[in-house]
Protein backbone atom coordinates (compact mmCIF):
# COMPACT_ATOMS: atom_id res chain seq x y z
CA UNK A 1 0.00 0.00 0.00
CA UNK A 2 0.93 3.64 -0.17
CA UNK A 3 3.89 4.81 1.85
CA UNK A 4 3.41 8.54 1.41
CA UNK A 5 3.54 10.31 4.76
CA UNK A 6 0.15 11.50 6.04
CA UNK A 7 1.52 14.18 8.37
CA UNK A 8 4.13 16.92 8.13
CA UNK A 9 6.47 18.23 10.80
CA UNK A 10 7.28 21.40 8.85
CA UNK A 11 5.62 24.78 9.52
CA UNK A 12 4.47 25.07 5.89
CA UNK A 13 2.89 21.59 6.03
CA UNK A 14 4.96 20.26 3.13
CA UNK A 15 6.25 16.71 2.89
CA UNK A 16 8.38 14.80 0.39
CA UNK A 17 6.48 13.11 -2.40
CA UNK A 18 8.63 9.97 -2.06
CA UNK A 19 7.99 9.05 -5.67
CA UNK A 20 10.07 5.86 -5.56
CA UNK A 21 7.65 4.41 -3.00
CA UNK A 22 4.60 4.17 -5.28
CA UNK A 23 3.66 0.57 -6.07
CA UNK A 24 3.00 -0.76 -9.59
CA UNK A 25 -0.68 -1.05 -8.61
CA UNK A 26 -0.80 2.65 -7.72
CA UNK A 27 0.77 3.65 -11.04
CA UNK A 28 -1.71 1.37 -12.82
CA UNK A 29 -4.60 3.08 -11.05
CA UNK A 30 -3.32 6.48 -12.29
CA UNK A 31 -3.17 5.05 -15.83
CA UNK A 32 -6.76 3.84 -15.62
CA UNK A 33 -7.98 7.22 -14.38
CA UNK A 34 -5.87 9.14 -16.88
CA UNK A 35 -6.87 7.17 -19.97
CA UNK A 36 -10.53 7.35 -19.07
CA UNK A 37 -10.53 11.11 -18.52
CA UNK A 38 -8.30 11.89 -21.51
CA UNK A 39 -10.89 10.23 -23.74
CA UNK A 40 -13.96 11.81 -22.13
CA UNK A 41 -12.44 15.29 -22.11
CA UNK A 42 -11.81 15.55 -25.85
CA UNK A 43 -14.33 18.14 -27.01
CA UNK A 44 -15.39 18.77 -23.39
CA UNK A 45 -12.43 20.39 -21.65
CA UNK A 46 -11.25 23.80 -22.86
CA UNK A 47 -8.22 24.05 -25.15
CA UNK A 48 -6.14 25.68 -22.39
CA UNK A 49 -6.62 22.61 -20.20
CA UNK A 50 -5.94 20.07 -22.95
CA UNK A 51 -2.92 22.11 -24.05
CA UNK A 52 -1.61 22.16 -20.49
CA UNK A 53 -1.77 18.39 -20.24
CA UNK A 54 0.26 18.10 -23.42
CA UNK A 55 2.76 20.81 -22.47
CA UNK A 56 3.48 19.25 -19.10
CA UNK A 57 3.58 15.76 -20.56
CA UNK A 58 1.39 14.55 -17.74
CA UNK A 59 1.06 11.30 -19.60
CA UNK A 60 -0.74 8.11 -18.86
CA UNK A 61 2.48 6.35 -17.79
CA UNK A 62 2.00 6.62 -14.07
CA UNK A 63 1.86 9.03 -11.13
CA UNK A 64 4.11 11.95 -12.13
CA UNK A 65 7.29 12.73 -10.26
CA UNK A 66 6.73 16.26 -8.92
CA UNK A 67 10.41 17.11 -9.47
CA UNK A 68 10.14 16.47 -13.19
CA UNK A 69 6.80 18.25 -13.40
CA UNK A 70 8.25 21.27 -11.60
CA UNK A 71 11.10 21.64 -14.11
CA UNK A 72 8.55 22.15 -16.89
CA UNK A 73 5.93 24.08 -14.91
CA UNK A 74 8.47 26.48 -13.42
CA UNK A 75 9.83 27.25 -16.87
CA UNK A 76 6.31 27.83 -18.24
CA UNK A 77 4.82 30.13 -15.57
CA UNK A 78 7.02 30.11 -12.46
CA UNK A 79 4.58 27.84 -10.59
CA UNK A 80 5.78 24.84 -8.57
CA UNK A 81 4.02 21.95 -6.90
CA UNK A 82 4.70 21.22 -3.24
CA UNK A 83 3.60 17.95 -1.66
CA UNK A 84 1.27 18.09 1.35
CA UNK A 85 -0.40 15.30 3.32
CA UNK A 86 -3.99 16.46 2.74
CA UNK A 87 -6.04 19.59 3.23
CA UNK A 88 -3.93 22.25 4.98
CA UNK A 89 -5.10 25.22 7.11
CA UNK A 90 -6.48 28.16 5.11
CA UNK A 91 -3.68 30.60 5.91
CA UNK A 92 -1.03 28.05 4.89
CA UNK A 93 -2.89 27.26 1.66
CA UNK A 94 -3.24 30.94 0.70
CA UNK A 95 0.40 31.69 1.52
CA UNK A 96 1.51 28.89 -0.81
CA UNK A 97 -0.68 30.14 -3.67
CA UNK A 98 0.47 33.73 -3.15
CA UNK A 99 4.04 32.46 -3.61
CA UNK A 100 3.07 30.49 -6.76
CA UNK A 101 3.32 27.14 -5.01
CA UNK A 102 0.44 24.72 -5.48
CA UNK A 103 -0.05 22.32 -2.54
CA UNK A 104 -0.80 18.85 -3.92
CA UNK A 105 -1.56 15.64 -2.09
CA UNK A 106 0.55 12.69 -3.18
CA UNK A 107 -1.47 9.67 -2.08
CA UNK A 108 -3.74 8.03 -4.66
CA UNK A 109 -7.28 6.85 -4.03
CA UNK A 110 -8.08 3.15 -3.46
CA UNK A 111 -9.32 1.03 -6.39
CA UNK A 112 -12.86 1.03 -4.96
CA UNK A 113 -12.80 4.87 -5.10
CA UNK A 114 -12.14 5.02 -8.85
CA UNK A 115 -15.32 6.95 -9.65
CA UNK A 116 -15.65 9.10 -6.58
CA UNK A 117 -13.58 10.35 -3.66
CA UNK A 118 -14.60 13.31 -1.53
CA UNK A 119 -11.15 14.47 -0.44
CA UNK A 120 -8.53 15.51 -2.99
CA UNK A 121 -5.95 12.89 -4.00
CA UNK A 122 -2.97 13.10 -6.35
CA UNK A 123 -5.10 12.48 -9.42
CA UNK A 124 -7.43 15.35 -8.64
CA UNK A 125 -4.61 17.68 -7.59
CA UNK A 126 -2.23 16.98 -10.46
CA UNK A 127 -4.43 16.00 -13.40
CA UNK A 128 -7.15 18.43 -12.32
CA UNK A 129 -5.24 21.52 -11.24
CA UNK A 130 -1.75 21.55 -12.73
CA UNK A 131 -2.49 21.82 -16.48
CA UNK A 132 -4.08 25.27 -16.09
CA UNK A 133 -1.20 26.46 -13.90
CA UNK A 134 0.83 26.27 -17.11
CA UNK A 135 -1.47 28.97 -18.54
CA UNK A 136 -0.09 32.47 -17.82
CA UNK A 137 -3.44 34.18 -17.12
CA UNK A 138 -4.87 31.40 -15.03
CA UNK A 139 -1.57 31.16 -13.15
CA UNK A 140 -1.82 34.86 -12.29
CA UNK A 141 -5.44 34.39 -11.20
CA UNK A 142 -4.42 31.64 -8.78
CA UNK A 143 -1.66 33.76 -7.28
CA UNK A 144 -4.06 36.72 -6.89
CA UNK A 145 -6.55 34.37 -5.25
CA UNK A 146 -3.90 33.39 -2.69
CA UNK A 147 -3.21 37.05 -1.89
CA UNK A 148 -6.95 37.71 -1.76
CA UNK A 149 -7.35 34.75 0.60
CA UNK A 150 -4.98 36.24 3.16
CA UNK A 151 -6.97 39.48 2.95
CA UNK A 152 -10.32 37.69 3.25
CA UNK A 153 -9.05 35.95 6.40
CA UNK A 154 -8.21 39.33 7.96
CA UNK A 155 -11.64 40.69 6.99
CA UNK A 156 -13.61 37.64 8.12
CA UNK A 157 -14.89 37.06 4.58
CA UNK A 158 -13.49 33.64 3.88
CA UNK A 159 -16.88 32.11 3.24
CA UNK A 160 -17.53 34.59 0.42
CA UNK A 161 -14.15 34.09 -1.19
CA UNK A 162 -14.20 30.28 -0.87
CA UNK A 163 -17.35 30.22 -3.02
CA UNK A 164 -15.47 31.99 -5.79
CA UNK A 165 -12.80 29.27 -5.73
CA UNK A 166 -15.45 26.58 -5.73
CA UNK A 167 -17.44 27.96 -8.66
CA UNK A 168 -14.39 28.86 -10.77
CA UNK A 169 -11.24 26.86 -10.01
CA UNK A 170 -13.09 23.70 -8.99
CA UNK A 171 -16.35 23.70 -10.96
CA UNK A 172 -16.09 26.39 -13.62
CA UNK A 173 -17.36 26.24 -17.21
CA UNK A 174 -16.14 28.51 -20.00
CA UNK A 175 -17.87 29.72 -23.13
CA UNK A 176 -15.80 29.26 -26.30
CA UNK A 177 -16.36 29.69 -30.04
CA UNK A 178 -17.17 26.01 -30.29
CA UNK A 179 -19.55 25.83 -27.33
CA UNK A 180 -19.38 25.35 -23.58
CA UNK A 181 -16.25 23.75 -22.22
CA UNK A 182 -14.97 22.61 -18.82
CA UNK A 183 -12.06 24.15 -16.93
CA UNK A 184 -12.88 23.34 -13.29
CA UNK A 185 -10.56 20.78 -11.74
CA UNK A 186 -13.29 19.09 -9.74
CA UNK A 187 -15.08 18.36 -12.99
CA UNK A 188 -12.14 17.28 -15.15
CA UNK A 189 -11.04 14.74 -12.54
CA UNK A 190 -14.56 13.22 -12.30
CA UNK A 191 -15.85 10.83 -14.94
CA UNK A 192 -19.51 11.32 -14.12
CA UNK A 193 -19.51 15.08 -13.71
CA UNK A 194 -17.46 15.65 -16.91
CA UNK A 195 -20.49 14.42 -18.84
CA UNK A 196 -23.22 15.64 -16.50
CA UNK A 197 -22.14 19.30 -16.37
CA UNK A 198 -22.46 19.73 -20.15
CA UNK A 199 -25.06 17.17 -21.20
CA UNK A 200 -27.62 16.99 -18.41
CA UNK A 201 -30.68 19.24 -18.64
CA UNK A 202 -30.88 19.28 -14.82
CA UNK A 203 -28.26 21.77 -13.53
CA UNK A 204 -28.41 25.55 -14.01
CA UNK A 205 -25.72 27.18 -16.12
CA UNK A 206 -25.48 30.86 -15.29
CA UNK A 207 -23.22 33.59 -16.63
CA UNK A 208 -20.39 34.57 -14.26
CA UNK A 209 -21.35 37.28 -11.77
CA UNK A 210 -18.84 37.87 -8.98
CA UNK A 211 -21.14 39.07 -6.21
CA UNK A 212 -23.82 36.53 -7.11
CA UNK A 213 -21.24 33.74 -6.79
CA UNK A 214 -19.92 35.03 -3.48
CA UNK A 215 -23.47 34.76 -2.08
CA UNK A 216 -24.09 31.22 -3.27
CA UNK A 217 -23.71 28.16 -1.07
CA UNK A 218 -22.41 24.91 -2.50
CA UNK A 219 -22.59 21.22 -1.72
CA UNK A 220 -19.48 19.13 -1.62
CA UNK A 221 -21.09 15.68 -1.73
CA UNK A 222 -22.94 15.57 -5.06
CA UNK A 223 -22.90 16.94 -8.60
CA UNK A 224 -23.41 20.70 -8.66
CA UNK A 225 -26.89 22.18 -9.06
CA UNK A 226 -25.45 25.31 -10.66
CA UNK A 227 -22.41 25.97 -12.83
CA UNK A 228 -21.19 29.50 -13.50
CA UNK A 229 -19.88 30.22 -16.98
CA UNK A 230 -17.00 32.61 -17.70
CA UNK A 231 -16.40 34.23 -21.09
CA UNK A 232 -12.65 33.70 -20.90
CA UNK A 233 -9.76 33.72 -18.46
CA UNK A 234 -9.04 37.38 -19.25
CA UNK A 235 -12.60 38.30 -18.30
CA UNK A 236 -12.32 36.29 -15.08
CA UNK A 237 -9.06 37.96 -14.17
CA UNK A 238 -10.43 41.45 -14.88
CA UNK A 239 -13.66 40.86 -12.92
CA UNK A 240 -11.68 39.79 -9.85
CA UNK A 241 -8.98 42.46 -10.09
CA UNK A 242 -10.70 45.16 -7.92
CA UNK A 243 -10.18 45.32 -4.17
CA UNK A 244 -12.86 43.07 -2.66
CA UNK A 245 -13.07 44.99 0.63
CA UNK A 246 -16.20 47.00 -0.34
CA UNK A 247 -17.76 43.89 -1.86
CA UNK A 248 -17.36 42.03 1.43
CA UNK A 249 -19.06 44.90 3.28
CA UNK A 250 -21.97 44.87 0.83
CA UNK A 251 -22.29 41.08 1.05
CA UNK A 252 -22.81 41.25 4.80
CA UNK A 253 -26.23 42.81 4.13
CA UNK A 254 -27.30 40.45 1.36
CA UNK A 255 -28.95 37.08 2.04
CA UNK A 256 -27.04 33.99 0.97
CA UNK A 257 -28.43 31.91 -1.87
CA UNK A 258 -29.11 28.20 -2.08
CA UNK A 259 -27.10 26.22 -4.66
CA UNK A 260 -30.06 25.73 -7.01
CA UNK A 261 -31.50 29.26 -6.79
CA UNK A 262 -32.17 31.32 -9.91
CA UNK A 263 -32.52 35.12 -9.64
CA UNK A 264 -34.41 37.39 -12.08
CA UNK A 265 -31.11 39.01 -13.11
CA UNK A 266 -29.27 35.73 -13.76
CA UNK A 267 -28.01 35.20 -17.29
CA UNK A 268 -29.29 31.64 -17.62
CA UNK A 269 -27.86 29.76 -20.60
CA UNK A 270 -30.33 27.61 -22.50
CA UNK A 271 -29.87 24.91 -25.05
CA UNK A 272 -30.40 26.12 -28.59
CA UNK A 273 -28.73 29.46 -27.92
CA UNK A 274 -25.43 28.08 -29.09
CA UNK A 275 -24.40 28.07 -25.47
CA UNK A 276 -24.28 24.32 -24.89
CA UNK A 277 -21.82 21.88 -26.42
CA UNK A 278 -22.09 22.47 -30.13
CA UNK A 279 -22.10 18.81 -31.15
N1 LIG B 1 -9.02 41.33 -5.93
C2 LIG B 1 -9.22 40.47 -4.80
C3 LIG B 1 -9.16 41.23 -3.46
O4 LIG B 1 -8.79 42.36 -3.40
C5 LIG B 1 -8.20 39.33 -4.78
C6 LIG B 1 -8.60 38.22 -5.67
C7 LIG B 1 -8.09 38.10 -6.96
C8 LIG B 1 -9.44 37.26 -5.22
C9 LIG B 1 -8.44 37.03 -7.77
C10 LIG B 1 -9.79 36.19 -5.99
C11 LIG B 1 -9.29 36.09 -7.27
O12 LIG B 1 -9.45 40.67 -2.45
FE1 LIG C 1 -9.18 20.91 -5.97
Give the model's pLDDT for residue 28: 96
Kindly list the protein residues that place their beta carbon closer than 5 angstroms to ligand 2, a single-atom ion. 185
Give the model's pLDDT for residue 50: 95
Count CA atoms closer than 13 A to 126's CA, side-chain side: 30
Q: How far is the CA of 129 from the centre of ligand 2 (A)?
A: 7
- Is 164 near ligand 1, meaning CB less than 6 Å away? yes
**Ligand located closest to 157 CA:** 1
Contact between 123 and 33 under an 8 Å Cβ cutoff? The reply is: yes
Give the model's pLDDT for residue 3: 62
Q: Taking the domains of the chain in order of start, what are their residue ranges?
A: 3-278
Q: Is 179 left (phi over 0), alpha (psi -120 to 50) or beta?
A: left
Instruction: For residue 237, give the ligand 1 atom closest to its CA.
Output: 9
Give the model's pLDDT for residue 118: 86
User: What's the predicted TM-score (pTM) here?
Assistant: 0.94
For a ligand 1 pocket test, name from 132, 147, 248 the mutation site with the most ligand atoms within 8 angstroms of its C-beta: 147
Specify the residue with its C-alpha closest to ligand 1, atom 11. Answer: 145
Residue 166: name the closest of 199, 121, 215 by CA. Answer: 215
Q: How far is the CA of 147 from the centre of ligand 1 (A)?
A: 7
Instruction: For residue 152, give the ligand 1 atom closest to its CA.
Output: 12
Task: Indicate the CATH number for domain 3-278.
Answer: 1.10.800.10
3-state secondary structure 152-184: HHHHCCHHHHHHHHHHHHHCCEEEECCEEEECC
Give the separation between CA 139 and CA 145, rounded to whole angstroms: 10
Residue 225 CB neighbour total at 10 angstroms: 16
Q: How far is the CA of 128 from the centre of ligand 2 (A)?
A: 7
For a ligand 1 pocket test, name from 143, 144, 250 the mutation site with the most ligand atoms within 8 angstroms of its C-beta: 144
Which stretches of the chain drop beneath a pLDDT of 50? 1, 272-275, 277-279
Give the separation between CA 249 and CA 254, rounded to whole angstroms: 10
pLDDT single digits (tens) 77-133: 999 999 999 999 999 999 999 999 999 999 999 999 999 888 999 999 999 999 999
CA quadruple 183, 184, 190, 191: dihedral sign: negative
Contact between 171 and 190 under an 8 Å Cβ cutoff? The reply is: no
DSSP state string for 181-210: EE--HHHHT-HHHHHHHHH-SSSEEEE--H
Contact between 115 and 129 under an 8 Å Cβ cutoff? The reply is: no
Amino acid sequence: MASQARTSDRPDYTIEQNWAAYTPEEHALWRTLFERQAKILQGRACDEFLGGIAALAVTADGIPDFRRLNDVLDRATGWRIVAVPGLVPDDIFFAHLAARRFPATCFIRRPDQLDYIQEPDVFHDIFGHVPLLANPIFGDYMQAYGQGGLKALRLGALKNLARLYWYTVEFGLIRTGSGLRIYGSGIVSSKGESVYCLDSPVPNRIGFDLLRIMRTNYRIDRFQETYFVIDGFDALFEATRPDFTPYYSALRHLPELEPGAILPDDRVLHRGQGAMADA
